[in-house]
Amino acid sequence: MTTLLSLKNLTKRFGGLVAVDHVNFDVEAGAIVGLIGPNGAGKTTVFNLITGNYRPDEGDVIFDNQSIKTLPTHKIVSLGIARTFQTIRLFHKLAAIENVLAGCHCRMQSGSLAAMFRTPTQRREEHQALQTALKELEFVGLQSQADQLAENLSYGNQRLLEIARALATQPRFIILDEPAGGMNNQETAALIQTIRNIRDRGITVLLIEHDMSLVMEACEQLVVIENGAKIAEGDPQAIQSDPKVIEAYLGTDEE
Amino acid sequence: MKDKRLVIYAVISVVLLLSPLFLNAYWVDVLNNVGLYTILALSLNIILGHAGLFHMGHAAFYALGAYTTAIINTTYHIPILWLLPVSGLVAGLAALVVARPIIHLRGDYLLIVTIGFVEIVRIALVNNVFGITGGSNGIFGINRPILFGWKINKPWEFFYLIWGFAAVTIFLFNRLENSRFGRALNFLREDDVAAEGSGINTAHYKLIAFVIGAFWAGMVGNIFAAKMTIIAPESFNFWESVVLFMIVLLGGRGSIRGVILGAFLVLGLPEIFRQFATARMLIFGAFMVAMMIFRTEGILPPLPRKYPIAKMLGREGSA
Amino acid sequence: MELFIQQLTNGLAVGGIYALIALGYTMVYGVLKLINFAHGDLFTIGAYLGLTLLTTLGLTNYLGPFGVVIVLALMVMGLVAIVGAALERVAYRPLRQSHRLSAVVSALGASIFFQNAVMLIYGARYKVYPHDILPRTAIHIFGLDIPLIRLLMLLTSIVMMIGLYLFIQRTKIGTAIRAAAIDQGAAKLMGINVDRVIMIVFLIGPALGGAAGLMVGLYYGQINFTMGWLYGLKAFTAAILGGIGNIPGAMVGGLLLGVIEAMGAAYISIAWKDAIAFCVLIIILIVRPTGLLGERVAEKI
Amino acid sequence: MKKILFLALALCLMAGTAVAADTIKIGLMAPLTGAWASEGQDMQQIVELLADEINMAGGINGQKIEIVTEDDGGDPRTAALAAQRLSTQGLVAVIGTYGSAVTEASQGIYDEAGLIQVANGSTAIRLSEKGLNYFMRTCPRDDEQGLVAYKALKNGGYKSIAILHDNSSYAKGLADEAKTLLEKDGANIVFYDALTPKENDYSAILTKMKAANPDVVFFTGYYGEAGLLLRQKMEMNWNVPFLGGDATNNPDLVKIAGKEAAAGFMFLSPPVPQDLNSKEAMAFMTAYKKKYNAEPGSVWAVLSGDGLRVVAEAIKATGSTDQDKLVAYMKNDLDNFPGLTGQISFNDKGDRVGDLYRVYKVSADGKFMLQP
């Protein structure tokens, strides 16, 4: 197995607060890894550092043997890292299919001039993008709602739509930020299968989740952080019995 | 439903096309102004309507185009219509240079910077910058355009030039809207963090939106200069930018048909209200408020884009 | 040096008026995120109402100059506040749930309406305040002649601004305004009547604008129906310069804009002074994208 | 919505083409709205007053005249529309308008329509240098006034001169004319700059100007700004003489500045009716006061009245409404016609000829006194 993503001494400060404190961990290609920790531990900040939304103060992010810490977000996406957001950030006033087409964007070429003159290449590309988008919708089970406005979908389906949009960027690595947030048990169970299916397509998964049943069932490896620092790493069984993790959760989080 | 709409569009187009036959020169000229502002507002619509950038300085690009045409035409006597792309290019380049450092400003901060830009341009024109703008006198003696040997002179001749240009603009911009480019602008308007996170280079698209909008405004400036044969800084003041801003918002952000209707209303109503003499602008102001209250998202907001989803699902894999 | 100080006082006097109008922009913006383009016209209305009251009521027969000014100011502020509140009710409230640019068009329409209404009521000619209301003494400091009224004008602006600041910071209504500015939804849940807060904002902002209009009328004498557009634009610039939504920002922005204009005129070129002011504004915004005192909000992702 | 619009368009069209056959229609293009609305509304009042008088007296050769007024908004684009509108209504001539750039935008349209245009407040030199046959004006040109200004400043014996304009094409034109002549003569121009019109506080400009220490200030802009300059100058205790161009000729100047500050201000202007002892001028003043209970505003509005009067005179004398005959009459035969602003004759270019300018001085009680 090869290492796809590797965080080295990653550190981010907001004013006096150290949100992420010298975090190190590796993600193997083809794995499903969970990043867990109490609320406010800095999990989402780690994601934002990987995807270039924030710039690290120290340390480095290595993706596929290349440092990506200074790249803009859209470049990182085109290198093959896609993400979803903790607070759903869909394009609410646009149709589901268009949301997924946003993901196709970085795999397309044609610009404004090609659009105005509707070149054969442009038309072929549009057709292919639409096919990809429909396939991704089908993958998450939303094909029948392709022309609905994103804001009219149920909460769970909005989360799935975000996943479809991320998949449409044809990533090698996908970051899911609380994908089961707001889902019922049935939806969560289906989501676990979807996550496995994503991995089966050869896409490495890194996720944040509070729903422990999902984490334990889906993830093969867990990284635990508290107050910005990594406190444990290992397979789910080992983490469950780790005293430091138990203390962190019982001490600060009611869940 | 769709057919009915097409019929309405067709009827309106035909009526418009034939209107110079039954309208007098004055009303034809009103329609010429509506046409010019339709094109200008469509170009602003790319920036303001589709990309959602608060841009209240569009008259600056329009002015750059008009002055480019006027200066080159009066000094080197190059025919007007050859200068059409040149005017667009100058305005587009200006947009590239000006927009780059300010593109990251949010909402109202961008608004005031664009207002500042249009004012700086106007003041520079008034002060006869580089000695080529003629100061507040402006530039006069601009030639009339000649198209395939036909000298365009009378209002009805300009009517077909302007609305021909408008038709081309509508055609091209409609394609632009329904493309990867148009969608990208909408994505960054709705949520630029999510757009960037979906792999869209938002800064680049904002800039290109400015450049395309400015390019078109510059070309309209060219036609305006040829139509007026004299241009002066007062034709490009901040108020003109406000008028364009109102057209886009009143008609419906991001909606081509809305913007066209907006241009008809914002330019046409003050003419229709001429019978009220000095009260005409008062009534117009009240009308603006009323129309906005009754149609809060603009009179004709954009329709959702259509994708051949059903068709593709029907015979998937055959393409 | 003497010239510099003279120009500084010139700039501050103009800047004080910009600041007073800018407060109206910034307060409305703070709560509604709306650029009230009709605000400049409320300033005009204040100037014209002041003239009407002054010439019809004959206050000068009963009161000394400062008594006249104070009574007049209270009446004008009250009346313009009513106009402002009515404007909110008619033109802005129906648009509160829609896109915020929709309200901008409504504001522009209202601006056209007010400007032409003033023209139709008062005529298009310049109107002139009586000359003998205010004493025209000058005081001598540092070898300069500075008209007393100029200083008083600046002082009045600053007192009003500090008063407003204390009102916003120290009173219960002020707290409600601040709460509504941060999050209207949350403020509602906390039992704050947001409609009332907005109404109050639309009373205070226009009242200050009206007061500025009266000051301009009393001091400069000449008023015209288009003056609101120019002053409004300058004041809006000032509000942005200081960081819109921020009350001390409007004060700093206003005074600074006045000084930049005066200095630009004095040391570079009078004809280019507005362009110079806008250049300075753009440079400041490139360096500080949310204005001088505006908060830099890192967006939560 | 669009249907309603077209309906409205059509209705307006029908209203516009209903022609009353037996009247002589004369157009007036004036800024009824916008920044110059005060001038335009005054123009309308004066032209309507004079038209009523003509009609009361039985019209011209038995035919009544009818005034068709259009708003040009003081803006070139609106002016082009107003001109298009007027040129479709079977008019004989059009009076107006105010502002050279605005006039210029309408000139070509009238010329193509073969309509006579008699401008009243458009002094830019080039307007009559284009060889447009149907264009005339009752106002003098900038070069004429520039010459008068130069003479007045020279006769005053001023050595160092400050020139201030407002960047309008009129004021800048006058300032440039005067500056060129003065510099040729070796005068020292110590200050030359432009203020922004419609502001209220010019103290920064006055402070700067004072530091240049001129013997006299020549301000070529409009009365509104001139009044404020005088007022603020007095507040600064600066006693420099001020000379104004003809755009400062408006009684409101004294109102704005106050009598004390305005006293001693000198300006150049064609004579206003008050100062002409002609019976036409006096009758006009009486009639205006009677109808509108005020004195007419600027001389420009009065010049639009003269425009109507010369056109009426030409129709009467030629007995025709043929534009070519009328123009030929006005350019060649009309000689020293008694106008409201002095005697009127036109040259071949359509410019008013004659030594029109006078120097006025504001007296201590705020009256405009014609200087000998």
CA distances from B138 to B244, D169, D338 (A): 22, 8, 36
Q: Write the pLDDT tens digit of every residue in A44-83.
A: 999 999 999 999 999 999 999 999 999 999 999 999 999 9
Say whether D71 and B280 touch across the interface (CB within 8 A): yes
- pLDDT over 60 (residue D250): yes
Disruptive mutation site among D29, D33, D86 for chain B (greatest number of B CBs within 10 Å): D33
* Integer Cα distance of A123 and C181 in angstroms: 48
Place of tokens 């698209």: B205
Q: Which candidate, C36, A157, A200, C14, places its Cα nearest to that of D206?
A: C14
**What SS3 class is residue A92?**
coil
- pLDDT over 80 (residue C197): yes
Q: What's the confidence (pLDDT) of residue D314?
A: 92
Q: What's the confidence (pLDDT) of residue B319?
A: 38
CATH number of the domain to which C7 belongs: 1.10.3470
Of the listed ranges A213-227, B30-44, B126-140, C200-214, the least confidently predicted one is B126-140
Q: What's the confidence (pLDDT) of residue A137?
A: 94
- pLDDT over 80 (residue C139): no
- Please check whether residue D265 is in contact with residue D367, taking contact to mean a CB–CB distance below 8 angstroms: no
Q: Do chains A and D touch (3 or more CB pairs under 8 A)?
A: no
Instruction: For residues C227-245, give the mean pLDDT.
Output: 90
Say whether C265 and D204 touch across the interface (CB within 8 A): yes
Tell me what ipTM this predicted complex has.
Answer: 0.85
Of the listed ranges C30-34, C107-111, D8-12, the least confidently predicted one is D8-12
In a domain, C155, yes or no: no
* Integer Cα distance of D203 and B273 in angstroms: 41
| Tokens at B9, concatenated | 């569009």
Tell me the nearest-neighbour CA distance from C298 into chain A, angstroms. Answer: 10
- C-alpha neighbours within 13 Å on the C-beta side of residue B167: 13
Which residue of chain D has the CA closest to C124?
A: D38
Percent of chain D with pLDDT strictly greater than 90 = 24
Provide, as residue numbers in chain B, all residues whose Cβ is less than 8 Å from the Cβ of A115: 175-176, 178-182
Q: What's the confidence (pLDDT) of residue D4?
A: 53
- pLDDT over 60 (residue D218): yes
DSSP 8-class letter at B295: S
**What SS3 class is residue A207?**
strand
* Integer Cα distance of D173 and D170 in angstroms: 5
Which chains border B (3 or more CB–CB pairs < 8 Å)? A, C, D
Say whether B198 and A77 touch across the interface (CB within 8 A): yes
Q: What's the confidence (pLDDT) of residue B44?
A: 96
Kindly list the residues of chain D whose beta carbon comes within 8 Å of any beta carbon in chain C: 33, 35, 37-38, 40-41, 167, 193-196, 198-201, 203-205, 207-208, 211, 224, 227-228, 231, 235-237, 252, 255-256, 258, 297
Say whether C301 and A14 touch across the interface (CB within 8 A): no
Higher pLDDT, C25 or C131: C25
Q: Which candidate, A39, A21, A27, places its Cα nearest to that of A1?
A: A27
- Nearest by CB to residue B184, choosing from A105, A125, A129, is A105
* D15 pLDDT tier (thresholds 50, 70, 90): very low
Percent of chain D with pLDDT strictly greater than 70 = 94
Pick the CATH number of D2-140+277-344 from 3.10.450.350, 3.40.605.10, 3.30.70.1400, 3.40.50.2300: 3.40.50.2300
- pLDDT over 70 (residue D5): no
* Integer Cα distance of A78 and A202 in angstroms: 17
Say whether D256 and C13 touch across the interface (CB within 8 A): no
- Nearest by CB to residue B272, choosing from D8, D84, D124, is D8
- pLDDT over 80 (residue D148): yes
Say whether C91 and B293 touch across the interface (CB within 8 A): yes
CA distances from D65 to B207, C9, D330 (A): 59, 58, 19
Pick the CATH number of D143-269 from 3.40.50.300, 3.30.300.20, 3.40.50.2300, 3.90.1200.10: 3.40.50.2300
Which residue of chain B has the CA closest to D125?
A: B137
Q: What's the confidence (pLDDT) of residue C111?
A: 94
* D18 pLDDT tier (thresholds 50, 70, 90): very low
Q: Do chains B and C touch (3 or more CB pairs under 8 A)?
A: yes
- pLDDT over 90 (residue A193): yes
**Which regions of chain B are under pLDDT 70?**
1-2, 315-319
Tell me the nearest-neighbour CA distance from D111 into chain B, angstroms. Answer: 12
Say whether C6 and D207 touch across the interface (CB within 8 A): yes
Which chains border C (3 or more CB–CB pairs < 8 Å)? A, B, D
Q: Does domain A3-80+171-250 have CATH number 3.40.50.300?
A: yes
Tell me the nearest-neighbour CA distance from C98 into chain A, angstroms. Answer: 13
Q: What's the confidence (pLDDT) of residue D2?
A: 46
Secondary structure, 3-state, chain D? CHHHHHHHHHHHHHHHHCCCCCEEEEEEEECCCCCCHHHHHHHHHHHHHHHHHHHHCCCECCEEEEEEEEECCCCHHHHHHHHHHHCCCCCCEEECCECHHHHHHHHHHHHHHCCEEEECECCCHHHHCCCCCCEEECCCCHHHHHHHHHHHHHHCCCCEEEEEECCCHHHHHHHHHHHHHHHHCCCEEEEEEECCCCCCCCHHHHHHHHHHCCCEEEECCCHHHHHHHHHHHHHCCCCCCEEECHHHCCCHHHHHHCHHHHCCCEEEECCCHHHCCCHHHHHHHHHHHHHHCCCCCCHHHHHHHHHHHHHHHHHHHHCCCCHHHHHHHHHHHCCCEEEECEEECECCCCCECCCCCEEEEECCCCCEEECC
Q: What are phi and psi of D158, to 5 degrees?
A: -80, 135
Residues 6+ positions from D151 with CB-CB distance below 8 Å:
none
Which residue of chain C has the CA closest to A15?
A: C298
Higher pLDDT, D279 or B289: B289
Say whether D81 and B15 touch across the interface (CB within 8 A): no
Which B residues in the span 173-212 are in contact with A, Cβ-Cβ below 8 Å? Answer: 175-176, 178-184, 186-187, 190-191, 193-202, 208, 212
Which residue of chain D has the CA closest to C222?
A: D256
Beta strand pairing status for D135-137 and D160-165?
A: unpaired
Instruction: For residues D333-337, give the mean pLDDT.
Output: 87
- Nearest by CB to residue A147, choosing from B194, B195, B309, is B309
Q: What angle do CA D305, D309, D310 make, to 5 degrees?
A: 120
- pLDDT over 90 (residue A161): yes
- Nearest by CB to residue B282, choosing from C120, C281, C285, is C120
Say whether C301 and A44 touch across the interface (CB within 8 A): yes
Say whether D81 and B138 touch across the interface (CB within 8 A): no
The second-level CATH assignment, the architecture, of B2-318 is Orthogonal Bundle (1.10)
Q: Write the pLDDT tens digit of every residue in A82-103.
A: 999 998 999 999 999 999 999 9
Provide, as residue numbers in chain C, all residues whose Cβ is less than 8 Å from the Cβ of A57: none
* D13 pLDDT tier (thresholds 50, 70, 90): very low
- Nearest by CB to residue B27, choosing from D13, D80, D100, is D13
Kindly list the residues of chain C whose beta carbon comes within 8 Å of any beta carbon in chain D: 3, 6-7, 10-11, 13-14, 116, 119, 123-126, 128, 131, 136, 138, 145, 147, 216, 220-222, 224, 226-227, 230, 261-262, 265-266, 269-271, 273-274
Say whether C224 and D228 touch across the interface (CB within 8 A): no
Q: Is C272 on the interface with B (CB under 8 A)?
A: yes
Tell me the residue range of the domain where C222 lies: 2-125+165-300
Q: Write the pLDDT tens digit of every residue in B146-155.
A: 888 888 888 8
* C220 pLDDT tier (thresholds 50, 70, 90): confident
Residues of chain D with CATH 3.40.50.2300: 2-140+277-344, 143-269
Number of Cβ atoms within 10 Å of the Cβ of D122: 28
* Integer Cα distance of B166 and D352 in angstroms: 44
Return the exposure string of B264-276: e unless at least 16 CB atoms fall within 10 Å of the residue's CB, then b.
bbbbbbbbbbbee
Tell me the nearest-neighbour CA distance from A64 into chain B, angstroms. Answer: 18
- φ/ψ bin of D35: left (φ > 0), alpha (ψ from -120 to 50), beta (otherwise): alpha
In a domain, C278, yes or no: yes
- Please check whether residue A7 is in contact with residue A23, taking contact to mean a CB–CB distance below 8 angstroms: yes
**Domain count of the fold of chain C:** 1
Say whether B200 and A115 touch across the interface (CB within 8 A): no
Q: Is C60 on the interface with B (CB under 8 A)?
A: no
Provide, as residue numbers in chain D, all residues whose Cβ is less than 8 Å from the Cβ of C136: 235
Q: What's the confidence (pLDDT) of residue D16?
A: 42
DSSP 8-class letter at B171: H
Residues 6+ positions from B271 with CB-CB distance below 8 Å:
B30, D12, D81
